[in-house]
Amino acid sequence: MEGRAYLLRPDTPKEGSPRPPRPGETEDELSDPLRSQASEAGLIMRPPSVTPNTMYALQATEYAQQQGLFMEFHHAAYVAFWENRQDLGDLAVIEEVGREVGLNTKEMMERLESNHYEEAVMGQYQEALQYGISGIPTFLVGNLMFTGAHPYDIFKSAMGRLLSPEEPPASS
């Protein structure tokens, strides 16, 4: 699996912005349909109070991917943001997430502070826009592309189609 960067809200200021509650949200639960989808998937998703600027998080993800720890970092960042309501725009939070998954945080922080991966992140974002991607998560399985949270059966079906493509009819 390969992760690619996508700026969901590219106009978010560097310090983030307050996120007002959405209709139907409680302090601990998002509104539907996300609440139901998260519950069905066994995920915890608490409403964040801040919409973070994710440039550091995306650059750290690129670093983690190059170290072979993409999924571990991605999962730990998910927990930090959705379960623990931490600000992924805060370098201290990113550093702690990196430490949790065994990254060389000294090297990672030096690269983040110098924006070492900013060009790569922006290139991936521009490529996504060229493909018509307009949301996250977006999944590309073979030639199938779908966006948003989906039940496990959708992924299973997509993988089945990729791994067992129908054979073309025999010509006579």
Write out the chain's pLDDT in tens, 172 residues.
678 898 989 999 999 999 999 999 998 999 988 888 888 878 899 999 999 999 999 999 999 999 999 999 999 999 999 999 999 999 999 999 999 999 999 999 999 999 999 999 999 999 999 988 888 888 888 878 878 767 778 778 888 888 886 655 555 5
For residue 145, what pLDDT is reported? 81
The C-alpha atoms of residue 118 and residue 101 are separated, in whole angstroms, by 22
In whole angstroms, what is the distance from residue 6 CA to residue 49 CA?
21
Length of the chain: 172
Structure tokens at 24: 């139907």
Q: CA-CA distance, 85 to 93, in Å (whole number)?
A: 11
CB-CB neighbours of 159 under 10 Å: 13
pLDDT at residue 147, rounded to an integer: 80
Q: What is the enclosing helix (H) or strand (E) of 50?
A: strand 50-51
Nearest CA to 146 among 154, 135, 138, 158?
138
Sorted by where each begins, the domain ranges of the chain are 17-131, 135-165
* Residues sharing a CB contact under 8 Å with residue 172, sequence separation 6 or more, in sequence order: none
Residue 140 is predicted with a pLDDT of: 80
The token duo for 140 is 């590309």
Q: What pLDDT is attached to residue 77?
A: 97
Q: What angle do CA 61, 95, 13 make, to 5 degrees?
A: 70
Domain covering 17-131 in this structure, CATH number: 3.40.30.10
* Residue 123: predicted pLDDT: 97
Give the pLDDT score at 160: 86
